[in-house]
Amino acid sequence: MRLLVLFFLVMSVLSVNTFGQRNCGSLEYQKKFAQHETYSTSKSPITDNIAARDTLSDETINIPVVIHVLYNLNEQNISDAQILSQINILNEDYNRLNADATNTPSAFQKYAGKCNIHFCVAKVDPQGRQTKGIVRKYTSKVCFSMNDNMKFANAGGDDAWDSKRYLNIWVCNLQSNVLGYSSLPNDRAELDGVVIQYNAFGNTGSLRPQFNKGRTATHEIGHWMGLLHIWGDNTCGNDYVDDTPPQTYYNGNCPSFPHKSQCSINNNGDMFMNFMDYTNDECMNIFTNGQKNKMRKLFALNGPRNSFLLSNVCDSSNANNIAGPSSNEAANKPVQSVTIFPNPSSSTINMIPVNGYDLNNNTVHILDATGKVLINQKIFSSNRSINISSLKSGLYFLKIGSGSDQKMIKLIKN
């Protein structure tokens, strides 16, 4: 009995660590998959000199954003409202306008930085046409790994827009419980951008409880602008920012202040509420002045993101008069349906989804020729069979779904 209890305790801990802990894939991605020249403040980053001016100290840096929504199931095709909620969150977090900024402990308030960086949904596409800045595409991929397939149309994803003028954000279903990952500032143009799990994006819609305030995108875009994790991705590591105190490793969940670790230099302990730690969304509330300066440096003269200073694609008046494609490419989505097998049948039929039709929790009705319901049965992934042996031989109709998703199939009982 004691062994059984111990087993369940261990499994519960593993479950919390697996499903309750923030999992940023940026470090693993950069080590295994990304093809880039490592960014360092000690060398001049690569640039094509598109913009030949420096940033001003008080200048608001505008970052046009395009959202590539890749969905296999309808729930992954997140709403415009959810997307816009994420843009609002970014503008709050990067400008110290987030309501929970008051939760920053007084010991760290003096380090808090207003980045003066503004995010806007693109209004002009790369061809100069008007756009909503949102691309929706059905994908046959059930989920994506960190091999960048979501960034290529021929691999089930969507091609990046010009990364010198747009921040590309791919929102999709990621495998291995990864919430998101980012490229580095000098990655190849077609790979440049961030990838976010669809149910950890924004603060409205169906979201994961610990990650429902949009801080995954805040965190990953911090990587896109050159920030490391606050613990330096090593035990007592260095994130190369002077005003973030050293800490032993990442923090999860919501620690209480002060939270001291092996490498703490004073009684204030870890800055676990920093956007570049691993705490839950509700516990994140600060970028420091040092982090602000590191991010803004990327947009300075000869910086790898300097070209954004001349990007004017958030102003719809710069678009030509040619209408752009609809942001919703539902016409390219294979028709979702359901079929039954065998048909005719004398005893049992099996429900088979086609092109990702979601059978789970749907109720099937079998009707006779007059419309009278003879059988009602709820369908689950573990049981997609229906016993029709009680029916007399003849023609029947199987109905599933409702509204535009309703399917009606002829069924012959022999």
Q: Of 26, 302, 264, 67, whose CA–CA distance to 167 is shortest?
A: 67
Of residues 59, 75, 220, 329, which has the active-site annotation? Answer: 220
Burial call 178-196: b when 16+ CB within 10 Å, e when fewer:
bbbbbbbbbbeeebbbbbb
∠ CA 103-107-110 to the nearest 5 degrees? Answer: 90
The rounded distance, in Å, linking the Cα atoms of 81 and 282 is 20
Which residues, in sequence order, are CB contacts of 325 under 8 Å at separation 6+? none
The rounded distance, in Å, linking the Cα atoms of 170 and 168 is 7
Kindly write down the DSSP assignment for every residue of 45-87, as one continuous string: PP---S---PPPTTPPEEEEEEEEEEESSGGGS--HHHHHHHH
Two tokens, residue 262: 């092996």
Q: How far is CA 71 from CA 3, 170, 171, 173, in A?
A: 43, 11, 8, 7
Report which DSSP code applies to 231.
Answer: T
Two tokens, residue 259: 């939270």
Burial call 280-310: b when 16+ CB within 10 Å, e when fewer:
bbbbbbbbbbbbbebbbbbbeeebbbbbbbe
Q: Of 337, 333, 305, whose CA–CA distance to 187 is shortest?
A: 305
Two tokens, residue 361: 């929790």
The rounded distance, in Å, linking the Cα atoms of 96 and 100 is 9
Cβ–Cβ contacts within 10 Å for residue 206, how many? 10
220 is catalytic: yes
Per the CB < 8 A criterion, the answer to whether 211 and 280 are in contact is yes
Per the CB < 8 A criterion, the answer to whether 271 and 290 are in contact is no
Per the CB < 8 A criterion, the answer to whether 379 and 351 are in contact is yes
The residues that are catalytic are: 220
